[in-house]
Amino acid sequence: MGLINYNIEKYSPQQLVVIPLVLLVISLVLLALNMATTGMPVTPGLDFSGGTAVTIRTTDSHEQLQTVFADYPLSDISDMNDAKFLKFGTMDDAKYRSLSTLVSQKYPDASISQISETFGKSLQYQAIIAMIFSFIGMAIVIFLSFRTFVPSIAVVLSAFADMVMTAAVMNIIGITLTLGTTAALLMLIGYSVDSDILLTNRVLKRQGKLNDKLTGAFHTGIIMTSTTFAAATALFIVSWFGSIQILIEISAVLLIGLVADIINTWLTNVGILKWYVLKGGGK
């Protein structure tokens, strides 16, 4: 049973780890490059950089919209199914009020939001703190649960690689870091360790041949990831049709992260765990 035949018997731990390791290095380089240009590993979106965003449902073309909003610092228009997503630069209070009047008169089907630069900065700062604490907290739980160094570090490393790879892909396809995507990344911390914990538990606490245990764990783990993947796909498709930007972004980040999770659980984590058991650790 299963779509993929998981046969890792013939690969050595080194061979297993090499692909994700290369991906991880590439991802880190990409994040570093982004850091050099924007000052953040992942490009901050509206919530963190400040500005005004307007979502409207309209059939007006980009040119028409540009004419309508000619008096305002319109910086970007993007399409989402049947909705348009407009970004504006910073403007003063009076200008913002006149913009929101214009929007509500012209497009009754609209939502508008505005974040000041200082508020964005303080949100960004808190979001970073939250992520660091989440990650450290997760690592502590893992170490307390397994109480052995190598298997624990394997889980933590896999979760770290998940986040880094996801962040790199976000940069490539242009998903910015917002409150929504921060939430999604934090959700990934929780999701990604699920299958790692299952794997480690099966390998270290069960009797039997290593390869049987790995195959059994894969059998269960891949279904776990598939169900989550299915839920996230449903969310993605529906929010795409509904043009709900925040849900599109959250589900997209989850999907990317789950793919990274498959790579990191079944190559990185398995590789390290196999090396550890073959070396005589565990049972």
Partner 1 sequence: MNAKEIKALVTDWRVAALIILIVLSVIAIYPHIDQNGHVATNLQYGLDLQQGAWIQLELHAEVVGFTTDRPVSDFISNLSQSLDTNVEQVDANHLEIRKSFTQQELETKFSDAGGTLTNYQQGVSKTTADDVKSILENKINTLGTKDAKVNTLTGLNNVARYVRVELAGVDMNEAQQIVGKQGKFEIRVQTTGNATEHVIFGDDITSVQTPTQVPAGSNIWGVQFTMSQAGATAFQDAAIKYGATDDPDKHYLIMLLDNKTVYSAPLSTALATSLKTQPVTQLVATTGSGTSGSQQATNLEIHLHAGALPVDVSVAGSGGTSAPLGERYKEMALLAGIIALITVGFVIYYRYREPSIVLPMILINASEVLILLGFIALIKFQMDLPTIAGLIAVMGTGIDQLVIITDEILHEGRVPSPNLYLKRLARALGIIVIAAATVVIAMLPLALMDLSTLKGFAIITILGVLVGVIITRPAYGKIIMETLSK
Residues 162-191 that bind partner 1 (CB under 8 A): 179-180, 182-184, 186-187, 189-191
Distance in Å, CB of 167 to partner 1, minimum: 16
Q: Does 86 bind partner 1 (CB under 8 A)?
A: no
From candidates 38, 58, 90, 100, binder to partner 1 by CB under 8 A: 100
From candidates 25, 33, 75, 241, binder to partner 1 by CB under 8 A: 241
Q: What three-state secondary structure class fits 164?
A: helix
Q: What three-state secondary structure class fits 2?
A: coil
Distance in Å, CB of 242 to partner 1, minimum: 3
How would DSSP label each residue in 81-120?
Answer: TTEEEEEE----HHHHHHHHHHHHHH-SSEEEEEE-HHHH
Residue 116 Cα to chain centre, angstroms:
25
Residues 209-238 that bind partner 1 (CB under 8 A): 216, 219-220, 223-224, 226-228, 230-235, 237-238
Distance in Å, CB of 58 to partner 1, minimum: 12
Contact call for residues 218 and 266 (beta carbons, < 8 A): yes
Question: CB atoms < 10 A from the CB of 276, how many?
Answer: 21
Rounded to whole angstroms, the Cα distance separating 41 from 37 reads: 9
Q: Does 81 bind partner 1 (CB under 8 A)?
A: no
Q: Which is nearer to partner 1, 13 or 120 (CB)?
A: 120
Tell me the site size for partner 1, rule CB under 8 A.
77
Residues 106-145 that bind partner 1 (CB under 8 A): 108-116, 118-119, 122-123, 126-127, 129-131, 133-135, 137-138, 140-142, 145
- In 3D, which of 215, 262, 267, 219 has the Cα closest to residue 1? 219
Q: Please, which residues bridge with residue 87 across strands?
A: 53, 76
Q: Does 244 bind partner 1 (CB under 8 A)?
A: yes
Distance in Å, CB of 15 to partner 1, minimum: 27
The label of the residue with tokens 């913002």 reads 96
Q: Which is nearer to partner 1, 127 or 154 (CB)?
A: 127
